[in-house]
Structure formats: C-alpha cells, structure tokens
Amino acid sequence: MTISVRESGTAQVVEVEGDVDLGTSPNLRRTLFDLMNKTPKLAVNLQKVRYIDSSGIATLIEVLKSTQRLPMEFVLFGLSPAVQNAFRLTHVNRIFRIVDTEEQALTPA
C-alpha cells in the first residue's frame, strides 16, 4: 500500500493505493491521525484501493469518530469496486460522507 498526502486549498487530500489489510492499515491509521487537527477537511481518495479488510474499515471508522469531536470534516471519495464491495458487506456506507469525485469532496457539505 502506498499513501501520499497533498494540500488542496484548506483541505488535505490523502491518496491511498494498493491493499489495505492487517499488515498495512496501521500505516493508514498513523497518516490519518497525524493529519488530525492540522486541517479543517480530510478527504481520502480510495479509487486505487485494490483491497480493504475489516481492519482498514475499522481505521476509517475510528478516524471518523475522532473527527466528529473536532471542528473538521472527514470525507471519502472515488471508492473502488473493492471498497464498495467491502462497505456493502459491512453496511458502513451510511456512516461516512461518501462522494464520487475530489471536486465534490472539497465542496462544503
């Protein structure tokens, strides 16, 4: 799994690529928590995620719950078929703010 972070206006956009699983999800968790408090908006691009397991989904839920206690927004966009599949299986779609494109993600909710 590779992770890259860039700024877009006041938001931080996190690009995730590859497999998010038991071995790699701690890296994603570390990156997302490092960005907490540093931006009013955290947008995560999941378009190039080939696989995500329950530890990856749990990481995203954990980040979401932490951002809800802060004046910041957490949004997911560009869900790959693998991510859509995993979200459908675990019924977590309605928990997150999910949009199709980066442009939509960076638009205020």
Interface residue list for other proteins (CB under 8 A): 19, 21-24, 51, 53-55, 57-58, 61-62, 64-65, 81-82, 85-86, 89-92, 94-95
CA distances from 107 to 8, 81, 89 (A): 11, 23, 28
Sign of CA dihedral 43, 78, 83, 4: negative
Comparing CB distances to other proteins, the nearer of 13 and 52 is: 52
CB of residue 17 to other proteins, shortest distance in Å: 14
Nearest distance from C-beta of residue 25 to other proteins, angstroms? 9
Pure H helices in 10-80: 25-35, 54-67
Residue 22 or 70 with smaller CB distance to other proteins: 22
User: What minimum distance in Å lies between the beta carbon of 44 and other proteins?
Assistant: 17
3-state secondary structure of 23: coil
Nearer to other proteins, 81 or 108 (CB): 81
Look up residue 45 and give its two tokens: 């691009």
Tokens of 72: 């910041």
